[in-house]
Structure 1
Amino acid sequence: MWATNASWVWLLFYSVFGISLAASAFSLIIRKRIGISVLHIVILVTGFMVFFLNAMGRSEGMTELHYFWKSLREGALWAIYVLISGLFSIYWWYGFVISYRDKG
């Protein structure tokens, strides 16, 4: 049987993904930070897909996150892309929060 992450990990993962996607769409709707929001959506969705498509290639008994960290240590390009997409998402959230904080 394949190992998988705990339910709370998946809840957190999908919540962050969904909220990030919704926040980017919100930025597009109100026409604020359009270019970087489109880029964020593209990177978010492709990073998500790359993570799951490559996680299918893990060996039995290894969780998705364990496989990701192992691949990152080995220098796998897909793992580096997923890491960069996560870091870009943090950068986008920083800009999103700052743009509203400066307003008030």
Structure 2
Amino acid sequence: MAHETLPDWLWLLFYSFIGLTLLATIINLLKKVHIKATIINLAFVIATPVVSFMFALGRPKGNTEWNHLITGIVSGSPWAAIILIGYSFMLYWWFRFSFLFVRFNS
């Protein structure tokens, strides 16, 4: 049974982002840097890909995961909102982490 999906290079980029975020989050926890934000990020790093996978299982035939997510956001799906919030927080956390890393190591 063939389904439409995103290109392999995009999945590699996505899972690399998740893996690096998890690794950086664990390092920040061990260094005790911004504990509250790091714990929240850890929860999102673990939960958001699982919720994304479960949400993508219900997509219509011929729809990619990305199209299904956008359709869910537009239609007001709470699961799509949770996914959007989760990935947005991870990006925010990376921006905050990178900014502090550059600032303190300059």
TM-score range, shorter chain: over 0.9
What is the aligned length? 104
Structure 1 position 94 matched with structure 2 position 95: yes
- Structure 2 residue identity aligned to 1:62: N
- Name the TM-score, length of structure 2 as normaliser: 0.91
Structure 1 position 67 matched with structure 2 position 73: no
Q: What is the match of residue 81 of structure 1?
A: 82
- Name the TM-score, length of structure 1 as normaliser: 0.93
Q: What is the match of residue 38 of structure 1?
A: 39
| Percent sequence identity over aligned pairs | 30
Unaligned 5+ residue runs, structure 1? Answer: none
RMSD between aligned alpha carbons?
A: 1.1
Q: Distance in 2 between matches of 1:90 and 1:5?
A: 21
Q: Deviations over 1:6-56 (max 9, x none)?
A: 101101110111111111011011221222111101012111111100100
Unaligned 5+ residue runs, structure 2? Answer: none
Provide runs of 4+ in structure 1 moved above 4 Å.
Answer: none
